[in-house]
Structure 1
Amino acid sequence: MPLSELLAIGAAICIALSGMLISELTGKVHVLRLARWQLTSAFVMTALVATILGGWRTLDQQALIHLALSSLFGIMIASTTYFATIYAIGPRSTALLFSLTSPFALVLGYGFLGETISLRQLLGIALVILGIVLAIGLKGGSREAAAKIAWAGIALGIVTAFGQALGSLFARPAMAAGVEPFTAMAVRAGLGALFFAGLAVLPLPAWRGSYIFTPRLMLIAVGAAFVGTGLGMSLLMAALASGKVGIVSTLSSMTPVVILPMVWVRTGKAPPPLAWIGAALAVVGTAFISL
């Protein structure tokens, strides 16, 4: 297997592991505080790499505007709802719902950039949606409260995927203009970190109440940022540098599959067969869209 494909699979594993780490913070760290910790860590990591690579020279005013809009939708909104989705329905279902990013990006590209959609890509969208429905299920739950949590989590996951797709849409002009990838991520993460730092001075429930700070909790949050944003994005960038975009995008989207063994090890219970089938269909659907 070519190195680029191994790197792309490594990126999927890192993103899955990051989701598992974040799930350990459920009920312990508020999503707004977690977002602040994560984005601050991500900014420090990516800004350091951008400085080493000299990427700041690739920025101009127009690129900054596009990256700011990308940060608004893909970071400030989508990161918050991503963490909230993991808290509500767990990392496995969140990874599946995140697969909707590809269909949303395809539709947005068609609507705003004049890109075409083939029949194969339409089939890919259908497979992604079918995989999510099969793996998550739409029965609700035996108790009304549990059903409400599930539906709220699904709604948050959809918002996350749509926000990520919008973030990618606004970032495309900047990346096409030659902005260095780590620099672009540093700008997006830095603006997000400033936003959540500003929220920290407001008298919000996130900064008080039953959430107790411990070094262990921050270590988990920073570790998730390092594994997901730092290492995961580095592997993805390296894969894109030498591999075909469609293949790399497909392999890096295998998070819903690779996270299943992690959930199995963590909980001691094997995910149901439909979870495996649904995750596989979501990856195949993404392949139809990307390749």
Structure 2
Amino acid sequence: MLGALAATTASFGWAAGMVLAHGPAQQLGAFEFTRIQLLVAGLVTGLLVALLGQWPSVNWQHWPSFLVSISIGVILGNLAMVECLRRGGPRNAELVISLKAPIIAAMAYFWYDETLEPADLAGGLIALGGVSLAVTATHSNGTRGSVAPVLFFGLASALCQGIGFLCLKPAMQSGTEPMALGAVRLLGASLLVSLAGLWHQTRSVSAREVTPNLLFRTILPGLMGYSFSTPLLLYAFAHTQAGVAAVLGSLAPVLILPLVWIVERQRPSPRATAGALLAVTGAAIIVLV
């Protein structure tokens, strides 16, 4: 029960973060935006873990899994997601990447012999159907050129993120706190991204263009996503079926609809509302049945 609620809350955090991140991401560009978020979120999360005394909980015997999660789950997963977004637009990117739920469920079956109960399977299918209906109801397409690269990068992102989360399950089951594990991922990823920035020596925006207001609007959604939502989803993966956690952690495209309505005054269409209701129904079946 707590794992399911944690995954659902993580989806809400990502949805709110996406709404807040839209403007800053356009101004800074994908690389600089991601670099700032990873650096600040990593430092803040690491400090919180230190204050809570959770660093000793990290089982460093699982360092190969940490390295895989950082390099594949965080770095490659985010790069593929950005490329999918660039080529396909937000609607198609969200739709394809939401397929990470069945991908993770399938990997968990072969990796950990996890099988879903009939109610969980039914709820997951209903929730995914609702996500697909809600996302495809958006008014703009945004696809440029062939749809094949969009599918390739979207599925690659979903696969990389799934591997990044699943490979950490043994570490969490050995007693590593989810927030401490999130800090390890963030600090490792921020180091790699910073090194890549030094190698590239190219920046999409000059330092004087990064105003305090823009910096705050960049950092806030990063903290919501990386420091708040990621540890919650890691907790969900540790304490519930991976497929269930993945489905409930994929509700952001639906939860974003009322937030966009409130923030940007864009009322969702009836089809999008129906999809949202379906997704909530599926989530309720998983949590309550």
The answer on 1:214 being equivalent to 2:247 is: no
* Matching residue of 1:176: 173
Residues 1-40 of structure 1 deviation map (CA, whole Å, 9 limit, x = unaligned): x999887665443221111111112431121211211111
Mapped contact 1:124–1:288 kept (Cα < 8 A): yes
Residues 233-275 of structure 1 deviation map (CA, whole Å, 9 limit, x = unaligned): 5666899999999998776654333311111233322122222
Q: Relative to structure 1, is the Cα distance of residues 116 and 14 closer, same or farther in structure 2, using a 3 angstrom cutoff?
A: closer
Deviation at 1:172, TM superposition (A): 0.8
Q: Relative to structure 1, is the Cα distance of residues 72 and 237 closer, same or farther in structure 2, using a 3 angstrom cutoff?
A: closer
Give TM-score scaled by structure 1 length. 0.76
Mapped contact 2:127–2:280 kept (Cα < 8 A): yes
* Matching residue of 2:104: 105
TM alignment of 1:33-72, pairs within 5 A:
33-72=32-71
The answer on 1:77 being equivalent to 2:76 is: yes
Mapped contact 1:103–1:289 kept (Cα < 8 A): no
* Matching residue of 2:163: 166
Runs (5+) with no aligned partner, structure 1:
none
* Matching residue of 2:269: 272
The answer on 1:255 being equivalent to 2:247 is: no
Distance 2:14 2:189 in 1: 19
Distance 1:218 1:148 in 2: 34
Distance 2:120 2:2 in 1: 27
Give TM-score scaled by structure 2 length. 0.77
* Matching residue of 2:27: 28
Q: Could you tell me which of 227, 230, 237 is aligned with 2:227?
A: 230
Question: What is the aligned-residue identity percentage?
Answer: 27
Specify the code of the residue in structure 1 equivalent to 2:66: L
Mapped contact 1:19–1:91 kept (Cα < 8 A): no
* Matching residue of 2:113: 114
Q: Relative to structure 1, is the Cα distance of residues 263 and 215 closer, same or farther in structure 2, using a 3 angstrom cutoff?
A: same
Deviation at 1:179, TM superposition (A): 0.9
More displaced 10-residue stretch of structure 1: 16-25 or 155-164: 155-164
Deviation at 1:201, TM superposition (A): 1.0
Q: Could you tell me which of 182, 186, 192 is aligned with 1:185?
A: 182
Distance 1:93 1:156 in 2: 11
More displaced 10-residue stretch of structure 1: 106-115 or 223-232: 223-232
Distance 2:124 2:241 in 1: 21
Residues 30-60 of structure 1 deviation map (CA, whole Å, 9 limit, x = unaligned): 2121121111112112111221232222234
Runs (5+) with no aligned partner, structure 2:
none
Q: Relative to structure 1, is the Cα distance of residues 172 and 191 closer, same or farther in structure 2, using a 3 angstrom cutoff?
A: same
Mapped contact 1:132–1:282 kept (Cα < 8 A): yes
Superposition CA RMSD, Å: 4.2
Secondary structure of 1:199's aligned partner: helix
Specify the code of the residue in structure 2 equivalent to 1:75: V
Distance 1:108 1:248 in 2: 13
Mapped contact 2:244–2:286 kept (Cα < 8 A): no
Mapped contact 1:140–1:147 kept (Cα < 8 A): no
Mapped contact 2:105–2:246 kept (Cα < 8 A): no
Distance 2:86 2:282 in 1: 26
Distance 1:4 1:110 in 2: 18
Q: Could you tell me which of 193, 200, 203 is aligned with 2:200?
A: 203
Distance 1:6 1:173 in 2: 21
More displaced 10-residue stretch of structure 1: 232-241 or 125-134: 232-241
Number of residue pairs aligned between Structure 1 and Structure 2:
287
Specify the code of the residue in structure 2 equivalent to 1:35: T
Deviation at 1:161, TM superposition (A): 2.6
Specify the code of the residue in structure 1 equivalent to 2:33: L
